[in-house]
Amino acid sequence: MTASLLDLYFLSPLFWTLLLLPNMEMATTQQVADFYEVSVDTIKTVLKRNKTELKSDGFVNGSGKFVKVNLTSTEIQQKQGYFLITDNQGNEVKVNNVRNSLFPKRAILRVGMLLRDSEVAKEVR
């Protein structure tokens, strides 16, 4: 993909709608890991090593209650220890009741800049 096509892809509202939690403009660690095709542990390592940078990009740790309060017009199914969010496209996202790492758009792109072995991240760069 050329740089200009990649820019259009990442600036596309459809791209962000598919990746982010509905009405929150943020993604969970699992969503970021799935997008970059790496393990959750890899994302956690990037977070641990670069927490200050990611926090400056808007990264936050939020409780399940924080996530629920900010979600509207989505189906939420309560489970033991977590809840499932189903968006308008039928995608399900698992969110913990206690603690969730939440990445806004800028932090998601920063993770791509910091990852070494992800083919998707190489395309982002």
Contact residues for 38 (Cβ-Cβ < 8 A; gap 6+): 115, 117, 118, 121
pLDDT at site 22 = 74
Residue 69 has pLDDT above 70, yes or no: yes
Which token pair is 97? Answer: 């009741």
**pTM for the whole thing?**
0.79
pLDDT at site 111 = 92
Nearest residue to 66 via CA among 28, 38, 36: 28
* Confidence grade of residue 68 (pLDDT, cut at 50, 70, 90): confident
DSSP H or E segment with residue 53: helix 51-56
The dihedrals phi and psi of 54, each to the nearest 5 degrees, come to: -65, -35
Tell me the Ramachandran region of residue 41: left when phi exceeds 0, alpha when psi lies from -120 to 50, beta otherwise. Answer: alpha
Which token pair is 95? Answer: 């969110």
- What is the overall mean pLDDT for the chain? 80
DSSP H or E segment with residue 10: helix 3-11
